[in-house]
Structure 1
Amino acid sequence: MDSGLPSGRRVHIAPLGYERDRVVEPVRIEAADVVYLLVDDPNRTDAEHGDVDADADWSSPDDENVPWAAATAYQRAVREELDSLCEARGVPVDVHNVYDVMGVTTTIAAAHDDDQVFVNISSGTNVAAVGAAIACMTTAALPYSVEPESYGHDVEAEPLSRGVAGIDRVPDYPIEAPTREQVHIMGYLYEQTVENPYTLNKRSLIQRANDYGLPFLANYSTESRQSEYRRLDAAIIDPLVEKGYVRLEPAGKRKNVVLTDTGVSVYRAFQHKADAA
């Protein structure tokens, strides 16, 4: 797993499923300096998706904002064993939500942009693997998969699992991440139209862009108002409409810009890009 990246701390991110060796051994073999365990939190809300508390107390499992009481004994043992190998940090996440896993992973990777970041895509649920893999496609983080020597029983003699508790559709997510400017505008739409009962049109978005000096307008401040609309469409509206993140709704002579449900999820996953601006 030689990355070829510049020197820096070796940071591992691993969704915690019902595994031990597939989490611990890569950390041991690769001499990781820091490992983030993405621990399932059944009480995590949609509004928390993508969030990572940068000021969390990771000095011990008891101090972390992670529901360790709901974990199995061997899952808690994984966290304690990792403490003996490197700096271990438990992070809450909904391991059954692609966007939450993706958002948490990209947020952690962004916080370690001077380090070498590796992501274990084989240690959690299948949905977590998809979210983690997509996060690697949109960042400089490098994914890796761990093939076990054996399973808990002979999979050639009987299936690995039984029955079907439910079938969840995995979202069809484009690999290209939104730009920082697009995330900023999506955040403004989220604050004003999702958290509050307001509507926004293109003129409102142009005003916002001017107030915050977004480059797609700030670099062309002497142009006409019509040029501002063209640049808003080219840099923000058209790409987000094409990806299904926003839609335009007629409102008299104007059109309101509406954040779609997918747009809300994507904003939560990439809001760290706007926060870092």
Structure 2
Amino acid sequence: MERHLRVHVVPLWREHDRIVGPVEADRPDHVYLLEHEDPTVDRPAYHETVIERITDIVGSSPDVEYVDLFDMYEVMGAITTISDWHPNDLVRVNVTAGTKRAAIGATMACMDEHTDAEPYVVDPKSRPHGLETPATEGFEEASLLTTYQINSPTPDQVAALALIEGHDTESKHAKKKTLITEAARYGLDFMNGRVDGDPEGYKPTNGDYNVLDNRVTSTLEHKGYIAINRRGTRQYLELTEEGRQTLRAFRQRAESVIADLEDRTRNSGDDIEFILDNPVDTLIEDRS
């Protein structure tokens, strides 16, 4: 497939040459810088130099996006989101310019089977010490990192995580019937062809439960994203902490469902409680 643009995504932390060098060597069309969002952390003065140098090289200012560089799921969510914005472009990610947790999140994002991005590592010439200067000095070379694909949740599975979270209130927990009726309401893919007529008030069939298990809940339970608590003949679904963090990282795959759940949360007549931070909300706002 022909690539239209070359895009670099780079954490901006305690580096200068390891950021600027690969950009100068590869000459991308656009650069995203992921800067740490905590206002209590001192921002090195050379960050402005990095931005100015990239602007000179590329011919346009990089997009500076503010994320928590110590939250690997937040970094992962930022990179998968940016990659989704560039489906026909060559996206490359510098995984060695940020914190260690940012490096893990960036690498995991590139390993995701649905994220078409290439990670690269950058070798410095030397490693001086001190906070007033970058952590390393010089630019030796940048090389692509060999990765192996990992299975990430499908849009239906991300939507299911959000629905389970939204129905986990003081008065109730989500059941499989809840997921089926909500999936009919939102037109999730696994219910295609199964809903005849108005999806409001849809009555699940036995076949719906089989499809739900095969396409959604069995996988989510196997991966440790949800716990299924069995009380007699009833089964209640809850997100695990790993499931909640996965929802944060991949929420853009079910953003329309999530936005509606947030609206329903504000409606006192609907027993929905969906409160989850969006690690890439500034990216969305800047793009709109």
Matching residue within 144, 159, 179 for 1:184:
159
Q: Which residue of 1 is the match for residue 183 of structure 2?
A: 209
TM-score (norm 1): 0.76
2:40, 2:84 → 1: CA distance?
A: 26
Matching residue within 101, 106, 125 for 1:149:
125
Is 2:247 the counterpart of 1:267? yes
Structure 2, unaligned runs of 5 or more: 130-134, 136-148, 197-202, 258-288
Is 2:14 the counterpart of 1:14? no
Q: Say whether the 8 Å CA contact 1:20–1:75 is kept in structure 2.
A: yes
Question: How far 1:224 sits from its partner (Å)?
Answer: 7.6
1:213, 1:188 → 2: CA distance?
A: 13
After superposition, the Cα gap between the structure-2 partners of 1:220 and 1:134, relative to the gap in structure 1 and judged at 3 Å, is same
1:209, 1:232 → 2: CA distance?
A: 10
Structure 1, unaligned runs of 5 or more: 43-66, 154-159, 161-173
Question: How far 1:179 sits from its partner (Å)?
Answer: 0.4
Structure 1 residues 174-216: Cα deviation after superposition (integer angstroms, max 9, x where no partner) = 931100110111122223327x764210001000111122221
**Identical aligned pairs, as a percentage?**
35
Is 2:109 the counterpart of 1:135? yes
1:218, 1:203 → 2: CA distance?
A: 17
Q: CA RMSD in A?
A: 2.5
Aligned residue pairs total 230
Residue type matched to 2:29 in 1? D
1:119, 1:197 → 2: CA distance?
A: 44
Q: Which residue of 1 is the match for residue 267 of structure 2?
A: none
2:214, 2:104 → 1: CA distance?
A: 30
Question: How far 1:10 sits from its partner (Å)?
Answer: 1.0
1:33, 1:235 → 2: CA distance?
A: 39
Question: How far 1:83 sits from its partner (Å)?
Answer: 2.1
Question: How far 1:15 sits from its partner (Å)?
Answer: 1.0
Is 2:104 the counterpart of 1:108? no
Q: Which residue of 2 is the match for residue 241 of structure 1?
A: 221
Structure 1 residues 70-89: Cα deviation after superposition (integer angstroms, max 9, x where no partner) = 31101232123222223301
Higher relative contact order (CA 8 A, sep 6+): 1
Q: Say whether the 8 Å CA contact 1:199–1:256 is kept in structure 2.
A: yes
Residue type matched to 1:201 in 2? K
Query: Moved runs in structure 1, 4+ residues, more than 6 A?
Result: none
